[in-house]
Structure 1
Amino acid sequence: MSLFVRRNVTSWGPAALAALALLTTSCAGQDGEASASRQSPSASATPHGYVEGAREAAEQQSRLLLNDPDTGDTRVLDLITGKAHEVSRTTGASGLTTDGRFGYLHTANGTRVLDGGAWTVDHGDHVHYYRAAIRDAGRIPAGTGARIRSDAAVTAVTGGDGRAALYRRNELEKGEVGNPRTLPGTHASAVVPYAEHLLALTADGGGAVKVVVRDRKGRRVAAPEAECESPRGDAVTRRGVVFGCADGALLISEDDGGFAAEKISYGADVPARERAASFHHRAGSDTLTARAGRGAVWVLDVTERTWTRVRTGPVVAVNTAGEGSPLLVLQDDGALHGYDITTGKRVSRTERLLTDVPEARTDGTAGPAIEVDRSRAYLNDPAGNRVYEIDYNDNLRVARTFGLDMEPTLMAETGR
């Protein structure tokens, strides 16, 4: 794997985002597709969707990022070829998160950025799938407790102290972290890039946590009238950005440059230990899941603005593809269970897949995870040195089992 030397970066300006033009410019009136054999085409010959240094594919190029915090062993499992690529070690990781392309390994000494080399660009009426080299992109100073959120232009890093900084996405794509822009104030939630702006929750002078909308330079441009007590967890959906609150969820949406806030209430008082603290969902889906205490799961339908509580038994990990797909729950019996979200009834169950079931995940990152894409789900089995591929549309059939030479304690899927 190639390591890239960090270089000095220039100040923010229009030229800094020039490399993003291919991702943000409208595709209307263009023809052709990128060819893997083309080398540095001229502007006039650039094929539709071309991304320098990447190969375009006809299908999603999913890859799994895997890490063992004890040994530092790190792998990138290519789900197209089935091959596991060894990359440099990262020891002591407390969590592994992703924005769809980059993996973020959080440690006490900072966050390692790993380019998984697979991503999707959604143009609305069609999408492009890309694959490129796997490589390190450097280290971000913020470590354990950092919350990292991205869009096509910027990556926002919110530290455990609530202070946030912006990194240029095109620098990460070059294999460099670059110089960040620091945002003013402190934040009670992750800063989330959305609709060419930045959304965050901040405490006002009276202690109330309210919504703040900033532009990319950090200037406050809007403040929708809404509060969110004890914010925990967030997710980006097609309907807007969801923040978890003590009384339910707060949905922030954008329309023609204006921002609106809407509360989606639980409908009843929910004890703190049973509130949604970390959301899990398929990228692009409007159906969110979260643990509801030890023995149940919350399902938030953002389109319908409704919460559903599904009693399942002891929950270790949860996710769903949404849109009529089953609710997937890894329970303390080591088996994966499927539930009908509407009725709450269990409709499918695998045999025992995990021989050693660790404690349930509490922060949304450590331990067994269920990653979901448009046709498959992936479940890591650290003690068994393997990852299961599950066909959730075929009665939770185990489609493939990937044996590994390391314990995949942490897992995240890229290419989405």
Structure 2
Amino acid sequence: MKPSPKLLALAATTSILLAGCSSQQAETASTASSTSTTVAAAEADSPQARLVTTYDGGILTLDATTLEVLGNTQLDGFNRLNPAGDGRHVFVSTAAGFQVFDPGAWTEAHGDHTHSYTASPELTDTVYDTQKPGHVVRHAEKTVLFGDGDGKIQIFDSADLLSGKTIAPEVKKTLEPHHGVALALENGDLLHTLGNSDSRNGAIVFDSAGKEVVRNEQCPGVHGEAAAANDVIALGCEDGVLIYKNGQFTKVQAPDAYGRIGNQAGSEMSPVILGDYKVDKDAKLERPERISLTNTETGELKLVDLGTSYSFRSLGRGPAGEAVVLGTDGQLHIIDQNTGNVLHTYPVVAPWMEPEKWQEPRPTLFIQENHAYVSEPASNTLHVVDLGTGKVLTSAELPAAPNELTGVSG
């Protein structure tokens, strides 16, 4: 892939097969200028959190408190968003790879204090090239990019991304390309899913020298990951959950022969993983009304009937680890992650139905600290909700229907 004037592709000259090979730093094909040198920054009195949402044809950047539109960046296509893990940047999945978007708010450490800055949002020229860019995972102070088409895994120290300068990632590869995920563990090991273009069946862990530590191939249709307290990782299966802790995999079996948990949300404050739960293998689109709560310490999988359906963009975790689900009844359901009791239901948006195409806009939940951000594409609206009280603090009409939604702490 040759870089265009607008896109800089970072190509690793050496791809490392994990099985029996040691890792090394990737070499970059060329050097991009730091985004911090092209953006005029103004100092702020505190961190300025910002939201980023896609629409059909571009990206909007918003003030996370007032919902004021701070930037409108034109970008064709269906673009996926993932925070980079540095509090400042967002990765946009484009045709060229993972492109870096700078919402224009960040904080830098200066000895015993910090300085916060703001600038105009900018889609930078920095692209970390891969085929079919997929999941971005932030864990153990590392950010890991996964390419579904080529199996490329790109690993960064999350803090290094804050500068806005191009970073040479450590590059590794899966054994076979597939729609998967990879993440770094606290001890320096690397975990990634197993599969190929036809099927996926488990996960594997390698140490920093590229030696296989352990694998498990008893997780059909492996999809989605989440981290729980104490560096425990959970992966969704079509018949339960695969858990990795203390150097070993264990399987938590679903109560149904086909009990698919493909989307999960974790919290460092809790050993419990929130997941979806589907039982109709042949459904074109199943609209489940039960969610799953998997305790990674006890191995117990609990199902909770919400009495309303939800989508894969409905799952979140509160500041104390509470499970939060945005239902098609238009309400936020706050659930005790340990007992499964529904503690509160907060009305936020009008009732809705999940569209059949997963790329189409639907109400989406994003949580940052004690605020839930809920989009309402039918009315081009975004809402800010206090998770403690359920009060809608702010609502704003946007210039287009919001689709993907994420944010940075600034």
| TM-score where L is the length of structure 2 | 0.70
From 220, 223, 226, the equivalent of 2:213 is 223
Determine the structure 1 residue equivalent to 2:315.
318
1:52-71 aligned at under 5 Å gives the runs 61-68=48-55, 70=56
From 98, 113, 133, the equivalent of 2:100 is 113
Aligned-residue Cα RMSD (Å) equals 4.2
Kept after mapping to 2: 8 A contact 1:251/1:262: yes
Determine the structure 1 residue equivalent to 2:325.
329
From 229, 252, 260, the equivalent of 1:275 is 260
Q: Deviations over 1:326-374 (max 9, x none)?
A: x3322223333334445545443334613654427968x9633211233
* 1:136 equivalenced with 2:123 (yes/no): yes
The 1:166–1:79 alpha-carbon spacing in structure 2 relative to 1, beyond 3 Å, is same
* 1:176 equivalenced with 2:172 (yes/no): no
CA distance in 2, matches of 1:381, 1:261: 42
Determine the structure 2 residue equivalent to 1:197.
189
Determine the structure 2 residue equivalent to 1:92.
77
Residue 296 of structure 1 deviates from its aligned partner by 0.9
Kept after mapping to 2: 8 A contact 1:287/1:302: yes
The 1:290–1:110 alpha-carbon spacing in structure 2 relative to 1, beyond 3 Å, is same
Q: Deviations over 1:72-100 (max 9, x none)?
A: 23112122454322142222225322243
Ranges in structure 2 where 5+ consecutive residues have no aligned partner: 14-23, 29-40, 279-287
Determine the structure 2 residue equivalent to 1:213.
206
Determine the structure 2 residue equivalent to 1:232.
223
Counterpart amino acid of residue 135 in structure 2: R
Kept after mapping to 1: 8 A contact 2:264/2:315: no
Counterpart amino acid of residue 364 in structure 2: A
Determine the structure 2 residue equivalent to 1:261.
248
CA distance in 2, matches of 1:292, 1:73: 32
From 360, 368, 377, the equivalent of 1:373 is 368
Determine the structure 2 residue equivalent to 1:24.
none
CA distance in 2, matches of 1:128, 1:224: 42
Residue 227 of structure 1 deviates from its aligned partner by 3.7
Kept after mapping to 1: 8 A contact 2:381/2:398: yes
Kept after mapping to 1: 8 A contact 2:317/2:324: yes
Give % identity. Answer: 17
SS of the residue aligned with 1:314?
Answer: coil
CA distance in 2, matches of 1:398, 1:174: 34
SS of the residue aligned with 1:233?
Answer: strand
The 1:200–1:8 alpha-carbon spacing in structure 2 relative to 1, beyond 3 Å, is closer
SS of the residue aligned with 2:379?
Answer: coil
Determine the structure 1 residue equivalent to 2:402.
408
* 1:186 equivalenced with 2:182 (yes/no): no
Ranges in structure 1 where 5+ consecutive residues have no aligned partner: 17-52, 254-258
The 1:300–1:61 alpha-carbon spacing in structure 2 relative to 1, beyond 3 Å, is farther
CA distance in 1, matches of 2:71, 2:395: 18
Determine the structure 1 residue equivalent to 2:36.
none
Say which structure is richer in strand: 2
Q: Deviations over 1:38-91 (max 9, x none)?
A: xxxxxxxxxxxxxxx896976x643211110x2x23112122454322142222
SS of the residue aligned with 2:378?
Answer: coil
Q: Deviations over 1:120-176 (max 9, x none)?
A: 899xxx997955544334234336562223458764332223611325553674343
* 1:148 equivalenced with 2:142 (yes/no): no
Kept after mapping to 1: 8 A contact 2:43/2:117: yes
CA distance in 1, matches of 2:139, 2:339: 36
CA distance in 2, matches of 1:337, 1:150: 26
The 1:350–1:362 alpha-carbon spacing in structure 2 relative to 1, beyond 3 Å, is same
From 236, 241, 249, the equivalent of 1:249 is 241
Matched pairs, number: 357
Counterpart amino acid of residue 211 in structure 2: V
SS of the residue aligned with 1:166?
Answer: strand
| TM-score where L is the length of structure 1 | 0.70
Residue 269 of structure 1 deviates from its aligned partner by 3.5
Counterpart amino acid of residue 244 in structure 2: I
CA distance in 1, matches of 2:272, 2:357: 20
